[in-house]
Amino acid sequence: MHAPLSTLLFAWLFALLSLAACVTSWAGVVAQLELPANPPPRIEPRSLQAAPVDFAVPGPAPIEGRPTSDAPTIQAAPIGGGTALQAAPSQEPAVQRELYRLLRQAEAARPVGSTVSSAQAAWQLGLIYLHGAGVRHDEAQAQQWFEQAARFGREPWAYAGLAWCHIQGCVGPANPAAAARAIAQLRPSHPARADFLSWMLARRQPRPQADRPGIAPAPLPQAPDLALLKKAAAAGDLQARIELGMEAVSQDRPDQAEQFFRQVAAQSPAAAYNLRELQSRTGGQAHGADAQDTGGADAAAALQQARKYHRGEGVPANFVEAIRFYRLAEQRGSTQARRMLALINSRPDPAGGVNILWMQQLARVDPGAVGLSIGSPVTAHQLLREPTPLADLLPGFWRRRLLALGN
């Protein structure tokens, strides 16, 4: 029997309604899965205003990894084969500029010293570091520059630097054989200074030791190869004339000493001081006046106070107070105070004030000694020498800054 048509229609309608209900329920589940947990707030409609439009056209983006100019980038190489410029803490801008100018000039050639300009700059840098003129005193650095300056023979003066470093022992112990070789290379271009350095080398040679205990070594001459010194002085060497002046003082020939010192006084502060000191003496009484102060008890008391402040004995060192007491002692008739003040004023700093480093050196000097001696003595009546046998070769700019800054 077939079901009535109405029953079939009702069944189909129920099935369609059930299917629609399932579809609606599934759509709700899917919507809950896709929608964010916190839907954005509803934006209320409001009047809209057009934002300003920027019509600037951007330029091309820079290209990474390539310089924006064809000019090469200049990078200064380290000084002296790996050591940077070592400037004094209070280095003035003019000193810094001149140092870097010399550095660029020296490093412009590769290797350093292969051109005349490069070798000359390296030689000057060696002199600067040897004397601590505006930079920290560094003998090892100086020798490195001298070696580079002399490598190709473009600057003959560099051999003088090497000779002195080997005599003095800038790096390690003294090397007389190397010094003699450097002097031989210097001689064709600068024979007078070569003769003077040869004289210095002979003077620095140690006394021969006895072969057996109890046997005294053979005595050495007091002035080794004086003919070399006279030859260098006759050729105009400044250092040799200063040494001959000191030799004349030791032999009690002040007139001859004054002649030697006067010849180079304009170029040497040491010679100028020696000349003033000799001229201030009164014949044979000079040595006695130097050895025994002419002031009374008040002058001696002021001088003692000056030395305390100068040397820091029992009180903190105070150079201002030391100079004040030196002047007081001088006013009371102290010859030693007068000599010390003359020494202090012989080397002012570039600004004309008190040279602190020079004051520190003078603290170790006895103003009552016969013939003040700074450096290695040659005679008993030595006065002052240049700081090194090469100090007179410093250019004027650096000469004025010699010992002006801390080392």
Q: Domain residue spans in the chain?
A: 93-186, 266-399
Task: Kindly give, in sequence order, each residue whose CB lies less than 8 Å from that of residue 185, ignoring residues fewer than 6 positions away.
Answer: 150, 153, 156, 159
| SS3 call for 313 | coil
Omega of the bond prior to 111 within 30 degrees of 0, cis?
yes
Q: How far does CA 374 lie from the centroid of its chain?
A: 22
pLDDT of residue 280: 72
Give the pLDDT of residue 363. 81
| Backbone phi and psi for residue 79, each to the nearest 5 degrees, phi listed first | -70, 145
Per-residue model confidence (pLDDT) at position 45: 37
**Which residues in the chain land under pLDDT 70?**
1-91, 206-224, 281-295, 366-382, 403-407
Question: For residues 170 and 138, what is the distance between their CA atoms, to the nearest angstrom?
Answer: 9
Sign of CA dihedral 205, 207, 209, 210: positive
Distances (CA, A) of 35 to 25, 29, 40, 156: 16, 10, 11, 90
Q: What was the pLDDT predicted at 296? A: 75
Say what the pTM is: 0.56
Q: What is the pLDDT of residue 2?
A: 53
Nearest to 84 by CA among 92, 74, 96, 72: 96
Cβ contacts of 250 within 8 Å, gap of 6 or more: 371, 378, 379, 380, 381, 382
Q: Which pLDDT value is given to residue 174?
A: 92
Q: Which residue has the tokens 């006394």?
A: 207
Please give the pLDDT value at position 276: 82
Expressed in percent and rounded to 5, the helix, strand and coil fractions of the chain are 55, 0, 45
Read off the pLDDT of residues 253-304 as tens digits, 9 standing for 90 and up. Answer: 888 999 999 999 999 888 888 888 787 763 434 444 444 555 578 888 888 8
Q: Are the C-beta atoms of residues 391 and 402 closer than 8 Å to each other?
A: yes
Instruction: For residues 149 and 130, give the distance between their C-alpha atoms in angstroms, rounded to a whole number.
Output: 14
The predicted pLDDT at position 181 comes to 97
